[in-house]
C-alpha cells in the first residue's frame, strides 16, 4: 500500500453528471491521505472519456480488472443501486476496502450478504449514510446525551423534497421497486438515520407508504409510465429513551421546505433544519432551555472532521466518511457506519413496509 490510499471509483459519469463528480471527486481531492487512481464505467470509450475529464491516470471498463490491480487500495461504488450487490461482492472477494453508496442493496438479503462477506474477509466497508458525519447532528447527539434538554419527550421530523413527475428515459428505472430508489429508501432513510443517531433507535414503529403520483411523463416522448415506488411515507414510533416520534417524508412537485427536526425534552428543545437534504447540505441548529425562545447555536469547530478547504455542500460529509474509512484501513479499527449498520437500516425499511401492508389489509 502506498503512502496515499489509491482509490478506484466505479461509476464516474463521463458527462460530469451524477453523485461521483458532485461529491466523491471533490471530497477525495480535499483529503491528503487519498489519491484517485482509476475510474471504471461500463464501456471502454466512456471510461477513457471519464479518466480524461477528471484527470485520472487509469481507466477500466471491467471492474473486475480494476479490483485485480495491486495499485488499487480502496474501491468506491457509485453506480445505480441495483448494481451495488454485484460490484461490492466482487470488491470484497478481491480483498478491497469499500465505500458503497446508500442504499447498500435493493433488498435486505443483499445487504446481509455484503455485510457477511465483509465480516468474513475482515475488510473495512463503509456505507454512504454520511449524515452520521455531519458536525451539527453529532453536536446535537452529544447535547442530548449531556442533558441539555433533559429527558427526551417527543421528536417530530419532516423531509419534503422536490420531485417533478417527469423523467428522462434514462431515469425511468427509478419508477420500479426493483430499482431500490424511493422516498422511503433514499431521503427517508438518510433522514431517519440522522434522527436515530441523535435520539436513539426505534423500539416500536408503525408506518404508511403511499404513491400519490402514480405516473411519470417521459421527457423525450411525452408518454407516461406507471410508478411503483412510494413518494409519501409516514412513520410513528417510540425510541429507546421512550420519546414519541412522528416523521413525514415526501417527494412533491412543488416548492419544498427541505429537512426539519424538532426535539423536545423536559428542560429544553433543539431544532435542526436545512432547505436541502440533511445528509448533504449545511444544517442550522437552534436551541433553548426552559421557557427561553429558540436561538441560533454555533457548532464547536472540534466537530469538523475534514480540512477547512473541503468544498461546502455534498463533499463535506462524504469527505468525513472517507476520512473515517482511511483511519480504519490504516489502524485496523472499526468504521462507522459500516455494512452491519446498513443492514439495520434495511431492516427498518422492511418494518415500515410491513406495517403499511398490515394497515391496508384491515
User: Which pLDDT value is given to residue 5?
Assistant: 98
pLDDT, position 361: 55
Give 261-284 pLDDT, tens digit per residue. 999 999 999 999 999 999 999 999
Would you state the pLDDT for residue 164?
84
Q: How far is CA 282 from CA 125, 187, 312, in A?
A: 26, 15, 8
Question: What confidence score (pLDDT) does residue 250 get?
Answer: 97
- The separation between the first and the last C-alpha atoms of the chain, rounded to the nearest angstrom, is 58
For the cut 90, the answer to whether the pLDDT of residue 325 exceeds it is yes
Q: What is the mean pLDDT of residues 74-80?
A: 97
Enumerate the domain spans of the chain: 5-131+316-337, 134-299+346-355
Distances (CA, A) of 126 to 8, 55, 114, 278, 287: 15, 26, 11, 19, 32
Report yes or no: 165 and 221 within 8 Å, Cβ to Cβ. Answer: no
The reported pLDDT for the residue numbered 295 is 98
What pTM, to 2 d.p., does this model score?
0.95
- C-beta separation of 98 from 121 below 8 A: no
pLDDT in tens, 286-317: 999 999 999 999 999 999 999 999 999 999 99
Please state, as a whole number, how many other Cβ atoms lie within 10 Å of the Cβ of residue 162: 11
> What CATH architecture applies to the domain 134-299+346-355?
2-Layer Sandwich (3.30)
- What strand order describes the sheet that includes 215-218? 166-167, 215-218, 224-226
pLDDT of amino acid 301: 96
> 171-191 pLDDT, tens per residue?
999 999 999 999 999 999 999
Q: Are 306 and 30 in contact (CB under 8 A)?
A: yes
At 149 the pLDDT is 98
pLDDT surpasses 60 at 362: no
Reduce the DSSP state of residue 1 to 3 states and report it.
coil
pLDDT at 286: 98
118/124 Cα distance (integer angstroms): 7
**pLDDT of 209 higher than 70:** yes
Res 36 pLDDT > 90: yes
When pLDDT is averaged across residues 111-121 and rounded to a whole number, the result is 98
pLDDT of residue 2: 59
> What is the DSSP pairing of strand 74-77 with strand 98-101?
parallel
| Mean pLDDT value of segment 347-357 | 97
Highest mean pLDDT among 85-94, 156-165, 172-181: 85-94
Residue 17 is predicted with a pLDDT of: 82
For domain 5-131+316-337, which CATH number applies: 3.30.70.260, 3.40.50.720, 3.40.250.10, 3.40.1110.10? Answer: 3.40.50.720
Phi-psi region of 180 (alpha: psi -120 to 50; beta: other; left: phi over 0): left
Q: Which three cell numbers stand for residue 73?
A: 487500495
* Residues 90-108, mean pLDDT to the nearest whole number: 98
Mean pLDDT of all residues in the chain?
96
The residue-averaged pLDDT of 236-247 equals 97
Amino acid at each position: 500500500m502506498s503512502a496515499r490510499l489509491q482509490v478506484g471509483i466505479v461509476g464516474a459519469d463521463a458527462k460530469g453528471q451524477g453523485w461521483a463528480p458532485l461529491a466523491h471527486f471533490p471530497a477525495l481531492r480535499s483529503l491528503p491521505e487519498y489519491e484517485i487512481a482509476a475510474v471504471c464505467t461500463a464501456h471502454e470509450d466512456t471510461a477513457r472519456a471519464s479518466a480524461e475529464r477528471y484527470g485520472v491516470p487509469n481507466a477500466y471498463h471491467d471492474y473486475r480488472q480494476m479490483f485485480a490491480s495491486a495499485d488499487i487500495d480502496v474501491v468506491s461504488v457509485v453506480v445505480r443501486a441495483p448494481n451495488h450487490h454485484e460490484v461490492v461482492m466482487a470488491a470484497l472477494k478481491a480483498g478491497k476496502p469499500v465505500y458503497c453508496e446508500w442504499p447498500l442493496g435493493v433488498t435486505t438479503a443483499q445487504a446481509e450478504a455484503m455485510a457477511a462477506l465483509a465480516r468474513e474477509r475482515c475488510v473495512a466497508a463503509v456505507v454512504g449514510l454520511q449524515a452520521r458525519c455531519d458536525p451539527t447532528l453529532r453536536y446535537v447527539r452529544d447535547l442530548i446525551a449531556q442533558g441539555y434538554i433533559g429527558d427526551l419527550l417527543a421528536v417530530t421530523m419532516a423531509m419534503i423534497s422536490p420531485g417533478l413527475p417527469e423523467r428522462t428515459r434514462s431515469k425511468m428505472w427509478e419508477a420500479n421497486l426493483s430499482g431500490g430508489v424511493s422516498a422511503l429508501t433514499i431521503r427517508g432513510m438518510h433522514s431517519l438515520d440522522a434522527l436515530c443517531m441523535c435520539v436513539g433507535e426505534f423500539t416500536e414503529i408503525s408506518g404508511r407508504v403511499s404513491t400519490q403520483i402514480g405516473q411519470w411523463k417521459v421527457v423525450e416522448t411525452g408518454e407516461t409510465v406507471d410508478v411503483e415506488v412510494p413518494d409519501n411515507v409516514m412513520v410513528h414510533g417510540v425510541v429507546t429513551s421512550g420519546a414519541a416520534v412522528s416523521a413525514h417524508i415526501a417527494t412533491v412537485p412543488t416548492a419544498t421546505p427541505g429537512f426539519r427536526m424538532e426535539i423536545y425534552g423536559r428542560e429544553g428543545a433543539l431544532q435542526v433544519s436545512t432547505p436541502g437534504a440533511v445528509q448533504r447540505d449545511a444544517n442550522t441548529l437552534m436551541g433553548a432551555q426552559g421557557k427561553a425562545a429558540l436561538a441560533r447555536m454555533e457548532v464547536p469547530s472540534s466537530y469538523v472532521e475534514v480540512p477547512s478547504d473541503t468544498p461546502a455542500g455534498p463533499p463535506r460529509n462524504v469527505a468525513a466518511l472517507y476520512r473515517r474509512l482511511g483511519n480504519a484501513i490504516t489502524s485496523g479499527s472499526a468504521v462507522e457506519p459500516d455494512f452491519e449498520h446498513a443492514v439495520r437500516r434495511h431492516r427498518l425499511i422492511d418494518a415500515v413496509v410491513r406495517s403499511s401492508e398490515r394497515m391496508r389489509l384491515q
